[in-house]
Amino acid sequence: MEKIGTRLRLERERRGWTRLYVADAIDSDLQNIGRWERGETFPSPYYRQRLCSLFQMDAEALGLIRSNVRNSAGEMQEQITEDTQEHDLDNRPFSQHLVYPASQEDENLQTEEAPAPTWEGWRETTIPVPLQPQNLSKERRPFPSRTMIFIGIGLVLMVATLSWLIPLFWRLLASSPASSPYTLVTQPANSSQPVSSPITGTVTRQAGDSAAIVATSKPPTVRPNERFTIFFIVINNGNTIRSDVGKYRLTCIENCMGGEDVGFGSQNAVPGQQWQFTIHLTAPNLTGTYSTTWVLEHNRVPFGPSMSIPVTVSIRPGGIWVSPDSGQTVGDIIQFTAHAYRTEPEDPAIDHVNFTVNWQNYWKIACVAYPPATGDIFTCNADLRQLGVTPGQIRVSFDVYDVLGNFNKSANGVHSVVYSPGQGLSAGAPFPTSPATPVPFYHSRQRR
């Protein structure tokens, strides 16, 4: 019978492959291939399958069936099938691995006790483990699918739990006093002991600190960088006396616009008394709507409601009505004239003026006037009959627009005139020899 590995070596050499090539192909190493071909060790089931796939032969054709293979001494080798036996072989004491080579002719050495290993015989020793499977660290074992499933389920549950807990945590934090930009610290009204604040140090917060809004100023519309004033009227509905000495003041928490904290001056606000806080602000240099928000504080601890006023910052071009005069009777053709201009020298130039007419409580654009060659007088003619205006009293006005889209609705108010069909051109101007200024669009809108 042929030795273990002989057929494997013959098939490899017949194909012209090196041991290194076979080792790389089955993800093993050169040392294992040599041991298999010399019959020193036997491939594990995993590598037997890899070898059969590489050589495209079954295990019996490659000599990888143990029952058909005998070693060089002609003895049948025991079949090692359990992985635990492989580990037991590797876990033997080191001295049991040290075996001196024995000659095949001297059969008595198999029964005699081997001499103790010495340093001089170290280099002559080998560690032959007959039919020992190759190193387990080289074998690739599939990752346990159940473990992978459990890990995936655990990760999903952890992510779901965090996605639920984190928003809940933030909601609780936002609803608690600690979510305020200030630290709220409370104690009974009859207590004079100070409490510690992580932000302001030692402060005293009395339960009697309470306030309510009575009135505020109207939301202002201002120009960029314009100075303006707002006010809040607040009532002291608590049981403490408010004063600068007691460290009570109104402070800004959002869109302060250069406003400073406001106190009580040299006076006091007793319980039940109303107090007006007047605040001087400067509008931002960018157009838009801003909400300036203020709150009362005692020892830098806020109390009472937050107070806000929207501030609209815009550029409004100006205009002055010229004709027709209020109360004038006009005919089918009406000539509109108005003076439109920039409010400030640095404002954008005027783009156009819409002259509008109202009857039956609906406004329509009668005609559009564009900048003249010289001056700032805008004029255009409109046919009231073509617009469908009903005879009788009507209202007229004009809107001014600049090149950046800023506008001023009814720049100089609304005027009333009387429409009498068939009266010809109004405002005393000669009937135009050229067609009236075309109206690019008509639309109905409710003027607010």
**pLDDT in the model for residue 138:** 42
Verify that 252 and 306 share a domain, yes or no.
yes
Residue-wise pLDDT for 270-303, tens only, equals 999 998 999 999 999 888 899 999 999 998 899 8
Tell me if 188 is assigned to some domain: no
Verify that 12 and 134 share a domain, yes or no.
yes
Expressed as residue numbers, the domain containing 369 is 318-445
Verify that 336 and 438 share a domain, yes or no.
yes
Tell me if 200 is assigned to some domain: no
Tell me if 191 is assigned to some domain: no
Of 37, 241, 49, the closest CA to residue 139 belongs to 49
Tell me if 84 is assigned to some domain: yes
Contact, 48 vs 69, CB < 8 A? Answer: no
Final residue belonging to a domain, choices 138, 173, 191 = 138
Contact, 326 vs 417, CB < 8 A? Answer: yes
**pLDDT in the model for residue 92:** 41
147 has pLDDT over 50: yes
Reading the block at residue 111, the tokens are: 């029964």
**pLDDT in the model for residue 87:** 39
203 has pLDDT over 80: no
Final residue belonging to a domain, choices 313, 334, 360 = 313
9 has pLDDT over 60: yes
Residue-wise pLDDT for 394-435, tens only, equals 999 999 999 988 999 887 889 999 999 986 555 444 434 333
Higher pLDDT among residues 133 and 211, named by residue: 211
Give residue for tokens 């294992």.
32
**pLDDT in the model for residue 424:** 55
Higher pLDDT among residues 4 and 22, named by residue: 22
Final residue belonging to a domain, choices 89, 115, 138 = 138
Tell me if 419 is assigned to some domain: yes
Verify that 423 and 301 share a domain, yes or no.
no
User: What CATH number does the domain containing 400 carry?
Assistant: 2.60.40.650
The amino acid occupying position 178 is A
**pLDDT in the model for residue 129:** 38
Mean pLDDT of the chain: 75
Residue-wise pLDDT for 55-78, tens only, equals 999 888 888 886 544 443 343 344
Place 169 in a pLDDT band, splitting at 50, 70 and 90: confident
The amino acid occupying position 446 is Q
Q: How many domains does the chain have?
A: 3
Place 334 in a pLDDT band, splitting at 50, 70 and 90: very high
Q: What is the pTM of this model?
A: 0.41
Verify that 82 and 30 share a domain, yes or no.
yes
Residue-wise pLDDT for 346-388, tens only, equals 899 999 999 999 998 889 999 999 999 888 999 999 999 999 9
Tell me if 90 is assigned to some domain: yes
pLDDT mean over 31-55: 91
Q: Please, what is the angle between helix 30-38 and helix 6-14, to 10°?
A: 120
Tell me if 148 is assigned to some domain: no
